[in-house]
Amino acid sequence: MGSHSVLVFPAGMPSALTWARHASESGMRVVGASSLTNDPARPKYSEWIVLPWIGDVDFADALTCCVREQNIDAVFSEHPVVWRTLRDLLPKTARNVRLEPQPWQAELSDYRGYRDIAASFLREPLQLAAAGCIEPAMPLPQLAALVRVFQLVPGQCDHAKLEALTAIFRWMPPGDIVEIGSLWGRSAVALAFLSRHYNIGKLLCVDPWRTEEIHQGIPAVDVVFDHAPMDEIFEAFRMNLAPFQGLVNYSRTRSSDAASLYSSAHCFTTEDFGRTGYTGEIALLHIDGNHAIEAVREDIAQWRHFVRAGGWIVFDDYCWPFGDGPRIAADDFSLEFNRNLTAQFSAGGALFVQVGSAHARNS
């Protein structure tokens, strides 16, 4: 996207619309073009041209005229047949006009990227000496699909943490998965995907999705979230998790309120995800909410009793450049239950601990 005036043709294809929006947002002048006289995509573009169908005898002349009059310096086409025609035509009729790369190439390169990351997880798998039975690693196509859905969701979880999650799910007993702090749902889609694959249990995502709750007493971080559009992010979270309906629900509350409800009812109902029953025993607790030390301590205190023997707790941002609340709170937990943890390691900035069998509910 290095040019200034770009012609999008045909302008109505879904990915053409997305590309045009991104181009326009990045400051480019975008002109939509179509061979349909009443193209429904017309209102999406501020400038519009009607071109003949590519098979018509006057197409080449009309295109040449259009790029000259409109000062076009690049053309984007999502349609493979149109792209091929333009590739042959533009060097003859408008030599200075660049054709954006073939759509398949860009898409294939994304898919190669997902596959390569997945393959790297399998090439040198994390060797964990955890308690319980180990399940086989996810096969490459599924793992690549997991990387893809994970990457499509905005968020702060990285590949190293995803890899560690794929490793601990192989050692996961059945039970509920509880995530404190979901934001757009990046880690949540990974948890749902892995839980479905290994048949672990239902996922509960707890997050107030409210600007005032996101403050953690760290000015550099708080200022970024001061104007975060939390209602829209919440809506995006629900879109991202919608494919896992039946396996997932959420609680738009603080973690402490959700813990009370979880303890008493084991059941959460929302308008869009319906009613989800939980077992009351947590196989994986992901603590990624408010990172202020008191908040992490409260999350641990409220939820740790539900974690079953052989279950895992993931303390996010254990290594965090903006504050040491998660690290101190997680270290205190590890010290207190030191003799009761069957595995412990750090990856992707998070601390992963597996809770041993002596970790009783009244501990």
Q: Give all strands of the β-sheet with 74-76 in edge-to-edge order.
A: 47-50, 29-34, 5-8, 74-76, 98-99
| Shorter beta-carbon distance to ligand SAM: residue 143 or 206 | 206
Residue 121 C-beta: closest distance to ligand SAM, Å: 18
| Shorter beta-carbon distance to ligand SAM: residue 216 or 342 | 216
Q: How far apart are the first and last CA of the chain?
A: 58
DSSP string, 236-285: HHHHHHGGGBTTEEEE-S-HHHHHHHHHHH-EEEETTTEEEE--S-EEEE
| Shorter beta-carbon distance to ligand SAM: residue 184 or 244 | 184
| Shorter beta-carbon distance to ligand SAM: residue 17 or 328 | 328
Residue 268 C-beta: closest distance to ligand SAM, Å: 14
- Name which of 263, 207, 211, 266 is nearest 238 in CA terms: 207
| Shorter beta-carbon distance to ligand SAM: residue 130 or 287 | 287
The site for ligand SAM (CB under 6 A) is made up of: 155-157, 180-184, 186-187, 206-209, 213-214, 254-255, 288-290, 295
- Name which of 328, 349, 353 is nearest 158 in CA terms: 349
Q: Token pair for residue 203?
A: 């996922």
Task: Give how far the C-alpha of residue 307 lies from the chain's centroid of Cα atoms, to the nearest Å.
Answer: 25
Residue 184 C-beta: closest distance to ligand SAM, Å: 6
Residue 291 C-beta: closest distance to ligand SAM, Å: 7
Residue 325 C-beta: closest distance to ligand SAM, Å: 12
Residue 344 C-beta: closest distance to ligand SAM, Å: 21
The 10 Å Cβ neighbour count of residue 125 is 13
| Shorter beta-carbon distance to ligand SAM: residue 208 or 310 | 208
What length does the chain have? Answer: 363
- Which positions ≥6 away from 280 have C-beta within 8 Å? 176, 262, 263, 266, 306
CA distance 330 to 304: 12
Residue 318 C-beta: closest distance to ligand SAM, Å: 13
Residue 107 C-beta: closest distance to ligand SAM, Å: 25
CA distance 285 to 203: 10
| Shorter beta-carbon distance to ligand SAM: residue 11 or 206 | 206
| Shorter beta-carbon distance to ligand SAM: residue 44 or 304 | 304
Contact 205/185 with Cβ under 8 angstroms? Answer: yes
- Name which of 116, 204, 111, 128 is nearest 166 in CA terms: 128
